[in-house]
């Protein structure tokens, strides 16, 4: 995986090796910060407004002041592509924390928000997109504000690691049997031609790709029902899939010991994937974002 050397920080653009913080950093000590991951196709940001808007919503929800406006941030992120001459498929990771200050739970009076953003290459995972993945279920022991894209990801990390140790791709969270989302993706069940997923409340992250799937479903005339489903109901699923910025739309073929339907990606999942791939093709036809054509 290529990591591009120039990063964006609160003090401007710099080589990644030059970025240092005092060890008393609130992101490290309290998880006191928020983040975003934006997909890049052919040097262009996908769902750009959606991700930047969500970053501002997350920051506002934790009373964190960002050192730029929405438009300024977009300009900086495009400059980041340019400075790295980034023309491939990848992601940008951006995080903002409540700064560096002597450790104290209270907000520091004079600390400045620490920000950095960096870019990695990330090719599309053709194998997962084509054949689907296995998953496990885990109780959702996270806090009640999962709509905030906060840095507090320990329950997500532990559940995903357990999935990986069982040879699976993702862990599906549930609260008393009701499925919410996965550790780093949203999850859907298709039954009798309808797509079911947990409603966009505070208990899940409102995924940008989830919104896109809702739009595609509308266009395709497939009912998109914001009504959760239970772990038990998975045995009745015709199809299942998950979505995220890095995963796109991946079929789920197995949950714990249950094979989903016939164990093969289903037709509604395929239709949504086709629409997604068509959208990406529009980036292939254009120059990277920083080249003014
Ligand atoms: N749910 C969680 C917990 C996530 O961390 C993510 C993405 O990181 C998602 C859902 C999917 O969100 P998006 O489609 O915006 O990537």
Neighbours of 141 (CB within 10 A): 11
Q: What domain range is 141 assigned to?
A: 126-280
Percent of the chain with pLDDT over 70: 99
Residues 198 and 263 in one domain: yes
Q: Where are the beta strands (DSSP E) in the chain?
A: 6-9, 12-15, 33-41, 44-45, 90-97, 114-121, 133-139, 170-175, 178-182, 186-191, 194-196, 224-225, 239-244, 248-255, 258-259
Residues 69 and 213 in one domain: no
Mean pLDDT along residues 118-137:
98
Residues 101 and 173 in one domain: no
- Using the structure block, give the residue that is written with the tokens 């073929």: 253
Q: Kindly state the tokens that stand for 259.
A: 């094979």
Residues 141 and 91 in one domain: no
Mean pLDDT, the chain, integer:
97
Q: How many domains does the chain have?
A: 2
Q: Is 181 in the pocket of ligand 1 (CB under 6 A)?
A: yes
pLDDT recorded at residue 293: 54
Hey, which of 186, 246, 272 would you mutate to test ligand 1's pocket, going by the most ligand atoms within 8 Å of its Cβ? 186
Asked if residue 285 is part of any domain, the answer here is no
Mean pLDDT along residues 263-290:
96
pLDDT tens digits for range 205-239? 999 999 999 999 999 999 999 999 999 999 999 99
pLDDT tens digits for range 135-149? 999 999 999 999 999
Asked if residue 290 is part of any domain, the answer here is no
Residues 105 and 154 in one domain: no
Q: Is 239 in the pocket of ligand 1 (CB under 6 A)?
A: no
Residue closest via CA to ligand 1's atom 1 equals: 185
Residue closest via CA to ligand 1's atom 8 equals: 184
Ligand 1 atom with minimal separation from the 181 CA: 1
Q: Is 149 annotated in the active site? A: yes
Asked if residue 154 is part of any domain, the answer here is yes
Residues 150 and 261 in one domain: yes
Residues 140 and 264 in one domain: yes
Asked if residue 12 is part of any domain, the answer here is yes
Residues 262 and 153 in one domain: yes
Residues 36 and 61 in one domain: yes
Residues 156 and 72 in one domain: no
Q: Is 273 in the pocket of ligand 1 (CB under 6 A)?
A: no
Q: 7: which DSSP letter?
A: E
Query: What is the CATH classification number for the domain harbouring 109?
Result: 3.30.470.10
Residues 158 and 272 in one domain: yes
Q: Is 207 in the pocket of ligand 1 (CB under 6 A)?
A: yes
Question: From ligand 1's centre to the CA of 214, what distance in Å?
Answer: 15
Residues 86 and 11 in one domain: yes
Asked if residue 29 is part of any domain, the answer here is yes
Ligand 1 atom with minimal separation from the 247 CA: 16
Of 121, 147, 170, which marks where a domain is finished? 121
pLDDT tens digits for range 138-190? 999 999 999 999 999 999 999 999 999 999 999 999 999 999 999 999 999 99
Cβ contacts of 152 within 8 Å, gap of 6 or more: 31, 143
The β-bridge relationship of strands 248-255 and 133-139 is parallel
Residue 292 pLDDT class (50, 70, 90 cuts):
low
pLDDT tens digits for range 32-60? 999 999 999 999 999 999 999 999 999 99
């Amino acid at each position: 995986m290529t990591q591009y050397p120039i990063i964006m920080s609160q003090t401007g653009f710099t080589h990644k090796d030059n970025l240092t913080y005092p060890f008393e950093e609130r992101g490290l000590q309290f998880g006191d910060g928020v983040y975003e991951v934006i997909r890049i196709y052919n040097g262009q940001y996908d769902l750009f407004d959606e991700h930047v808007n969500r970053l501002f919503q997350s920051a506002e929800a934790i009373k964190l002041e960002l050192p730029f406006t929405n438009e300024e941030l977009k300009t900086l992120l495009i400059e980041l592509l340019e400075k790295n001459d980034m023309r491939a498929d990848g992601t940008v990771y951006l995080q903002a924390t409540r700064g560096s200050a002597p450790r104290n739970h209270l907000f520091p009076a004079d600390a400045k928000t620490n920000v950095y953003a960096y870019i990695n290459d990330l090719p599309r995972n053709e194998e997962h997109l084509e054949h689907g993945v296995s998953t496990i279920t885990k109780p959702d022991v996270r806090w009640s504000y999962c709509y905030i894209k906060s840095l507090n990801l320990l329950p997500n990390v532990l559940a995903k690691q357990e999935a990986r140790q069982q040879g699976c791709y993702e862990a599906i969270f549930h609260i008393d049997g009701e499925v919410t989302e996965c550790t780093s993706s949203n999850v859907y069940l298709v039954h009798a031609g309808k797509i079911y997923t947990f409603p966009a409340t505070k208990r899940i992250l409102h995924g940008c790709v989830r919104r896109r799937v809702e739009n595609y479903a509308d266009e395709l005339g497939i009912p998109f029902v914001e009504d959760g489903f239970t772990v038990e109901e998975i045995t009745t699923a015709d199809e299942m899939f998950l979505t995220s910025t890095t995963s796109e739309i991946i079929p789920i073929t197995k949950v714990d010991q249950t094979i989903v339907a016939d164990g093969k990606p289903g037709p509604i999942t395929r239709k949504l994937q086709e629409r997604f791939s068509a959208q990406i093709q529009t980036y292939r036809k254009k120059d990277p974002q920083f080249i003014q054509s």
